[in-house]
């Protein structure tokens, strides 16, 4: 205890520096080209919270919308409304904003007001210029993107010490965790920003594949202090969200916002709707024996899968094979032994003292539950490994493919009844 004052004297001067390094990294990328607008985001955080997706239908004076957030907080991280306006937030150093005295105070979350009432970036800027954006003091900065391709980064401090508003001047805009107009305030240089900018200089196509590659190139791995927990790509013209879990860019789920809003208010847990699929083999460009090809991938062993393989990349007129586990009651040796013992014991008890039946029915039921629920081998010869619900290796063998032919293959999966996930497409060639 006597050392506490000395510790505080030494620690307090560096506390602001330490806090400044605890900004949790995230990356946002907007690309607009040939009439197509996409927005991609990596959500990086040091604690692996359970993340959820909320769907809130339209109401009087409010657009329908979806938000992604931590399960234990109502503070939304990002979202999109049914008008094609989306946003995301990014932690930054403190900008020490002094809001203009003409701006009105706003009770509530100004971001939610914008998503409820605005269809365009211009409308969002009008609200930002009218009200104090107090949430910027807590988080840092936001990006807003609409389906016309307009986007704006809101945050930092301009020359009047008010909120800085930075419009897009290229057909793309990148945001990470430093202020574009005031990089001297901290968190710059930023390798994620520089890498995304360099990649966009080489390829600025507004395609899902290009955005997926960009997000993959700037993600943080599982062993990082703040790994990428989920990623999303919003197709603003079509109201679609491509969702990825835990920087696994091989598996994705496509969410149709209009269809989900028609179901009423509801929430999904991101972890529960994925099957954690990672393709193993055949690898891209591999040459295999056409006589017998074994497809292998990792995934949750209690999900159901469909393997599709085709000679054309658009997967028309393809062959497919259902692959998965069926779980049914199968008596193991221990379980069946306990079951017969319980039946024998119950028969004696009931025959000698009927009033004791309730006393022994509960132990009987407990013993019955010891009967094992074992996975049966699928009719297609599937060989899963691992416990039920855990990730294991899954394989399916297909015979008599065409010789000297390039094939495209992918896997779709159902971890729940709500969504079907699918993987990227891999290719291989059969030997002559």
Strand 240-245 vs strand 248-256: parallel, antiparallel, or unpaired?
antiparallel
Q: Tens digit of pLDDT for each residue in 248-305?
A: 999 999 999 999 999 999 999 999 999 999 999 999 999 998 788 999 999 999 999 9
Of 317 and 147, which is predicted with more confidence? 147
Whole-angstrom CA distances from 396 to 32, 217, 307, 408, 415 are 40, 31, 8, 15, 19
Mean pLDDT of the chain: 83
Architecture of domain 278-324+397-430: Sandwich (2.60)
Tokens describing residue 203: 């390829």
Secondary structure (3-state) at 183: helix
Helix (H, G, I), strand (E, B) or coil at 188: coil
Tokens of 116: 């409820």
Whole-number pLDDT of residue 216: 98
Q: What is the pLDDT of residue 96?
A: 85
Exposed e or buried b per residue across 168-201, where buried means at least 16 C-beta atoms within 10 angstroms of its C-beta? beebbbbbbbbbbbbeebbbbebebbeebeebbe
Asked whether 74 and 67 are in contact (CB, 8 A), the reply is: no
Q: Is the pLDDT of residue 380 over 60?
A: no
What is the DSSP secondary-structure string of 378-410?
PTT-----SSTTSEEEEEEEEE-PPTT-EEEEE
What value does the mean pLDDT take over residues 95-110?
A: 90
Whole-number pLDDT of residue 268: 97
Whether residue 347 is predicted with pLDDT greater than 60 in this model: the reply is no
Mean per-residue pLDDT for 164-184?
93
Q: Which residues contact 4 (CB under 8 A, 6 or more apart)?
A: none
What confidence score (pLDDT) does residue 385 get?
A: 43
DSSP H or E segment with residue 192: helix 191-202
What digits encode the pLDDT tens for the residues 208-231? 999 999 999 999 998 899 999 999
Task: Provide the percentage of residues in the chain whose pLDDT is more than 90.
Answer: 64
Per the structure block, which two tokens stand in for 235? 């197709």
pTM (2 d.p.): 0.81
Residues 157/159/165/167 CA torsion (nearest 10 deg): -130
Output the pLDDT for position 138. Answer: 67
Q: Which residue has the higher pLDDT, 112 or 349?
A: 112
Helices (H), 304-416: 333-352, 357-368
User: Is pLDDT above 70 for 171?
Assistant: yes
Do residues 376 and 408 make contact, with C-beta atoms less than 8 angstroms apart?
no
Contact 30, 38 (CB under 8 A): yes
Contact 20, 90 (CB under 8 A): no
* Angstrom distance (rounded) from CA 250 to CA 259: 24
Q: How far is CA 372 from each of CA 79, 332, 342, 343, 382, rounded to the nearest angstrom?
A: 44, 6, 16, 17, 20
pLDDT at 47 over 90: no
Whether the Cβ atoms of residue 142 and residue 153 lie closer than 8 Å to each other: yes
Choose between 341 and 415: higher pLDDT.
Answer: 415
| Most confidently modeled range among 92-96, 129-133, 260-264 | 260-264
Residue 58 pLDDT exceeds 80: yes
DSSP assignments along 54-91, one per residue? EEE--BTTB--EEEEEETT---EEEEEETTS-EEEEEE
- Tokens 């999904």 belong to 268
pLDDT computed for residue 95 by the predictor: 83
- CATH architecture type of domain 23-273: 4-Layer Sandwich (3.60)
Most confident stretch, 92-96, 309-313, 341-345: 309-313
CA nearest neighbour of 304 among 400, 242, 380: 380
Q: What is the mean pLDDT of residues 158-180?
A: 92
List all residues 6 or more positions away from 181 whose beta carbon is below 8 Å from its beta carbon. Answer: 156, 158, 164, 166
CA distances from 48 to 9, 26, 79, 223 (A): 33, 14, 20, 12
Single out the residue of 189, 245, 185 nearest to residue 215, CA to CA: 245
- Strand 286-288 to strand 426-430: parallel, antiparallel, or no bridges (unpaired)? parallel
Cis check: omega of the bond before 282, within 30 degrees of 0: yes
pLDDT given for residue 400 in this prediction:
86
Residue 16: pLDDT above 50?
Answer: no
């Amino acid at each position: 205890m006597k050392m506490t004052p000395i510790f505080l004297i030494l620690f307090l001067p560096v506390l602001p520096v330490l806090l400044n390094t605890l900004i949790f990294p995230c990356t946002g990328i907007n690309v607009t080209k040939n009439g197509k607008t996409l927005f991609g985001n990596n959500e990086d955080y040091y604690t692996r919270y359970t993340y959820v997706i909320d769907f809130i239908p339209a109401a009087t004076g409010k657009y329908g919308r979806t938000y992604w957030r931590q399960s234990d907080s109502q503070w939304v991280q990002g979202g999109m409304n049914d008008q094609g306006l989306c946003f995301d937030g990014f932690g930054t150093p403190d900008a020490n904003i002094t809001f203009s005295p003409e701006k009105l105070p706003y009770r509530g979350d100004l971001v939610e007001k914008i998503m409820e009432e605005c269809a365009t970036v211009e409308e969002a800027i009008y609200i930002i210029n009218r009200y104090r954006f107090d949430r910027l003091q807590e988080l840092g900065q936001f990006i807003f993107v609409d389906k016309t391709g307009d986007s704006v980064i809101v945050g930092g401090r301009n020359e009047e010490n008010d909120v800085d508003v930075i419009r897009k001047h290229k057909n793309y805009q990148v945001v990470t965790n430093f202020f574009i107009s005031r990089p001297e305030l901290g968190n710059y240089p930023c390798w994620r920003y520089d890498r995304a900018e360099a990649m966009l200089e080489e390829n600025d196509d507004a395609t899902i594949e290009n955005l997926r590659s960009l997000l993959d190139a700037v993600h943080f791995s599982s062993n990082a202090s703040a790994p990428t927990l989920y990623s999303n790509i919003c197709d603003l013209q079509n109201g679609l969200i491509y969702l990825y879990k835990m920087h696994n860019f091989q598996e994705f789920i496509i969410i149709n916002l209009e269809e989900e809003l028609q179901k009423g208010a509801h929430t999904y847990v991101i972890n529960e709707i994925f099957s954690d699929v990672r393709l193993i083999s055949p690898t891209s460009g591999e040459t295999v024996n056409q006589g017998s090809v074994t497809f292998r991938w990792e995934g949750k062993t209690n999900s159901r899968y469909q393997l599709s393989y085709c000679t054309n990349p658009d997967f028309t007129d393809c062959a497919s094979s259902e692959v998965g586990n069926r779980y049914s009651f199968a008596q193991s040796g221990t379980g069946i032994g306990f079951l017969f013992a319980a039946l024998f014991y119950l028969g004696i008890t009931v025959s000698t003292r009927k009033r004791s039946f309730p006393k022994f029915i509960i132990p009987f039921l407990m013993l019955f539950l010891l009967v094992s629920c074992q996975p049966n081998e699928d009719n297609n010869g599937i060989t899963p490994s691992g416990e039920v619900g855990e990730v294991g290796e899954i394989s399916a063998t297909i015979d008599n493919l065409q010789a000297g032919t390039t094939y495209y293959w992918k896997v779709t999966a159902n971890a729940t009844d709500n969504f079907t996930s699918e993987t990227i497409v891999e290719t291989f060639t059969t030997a002559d």
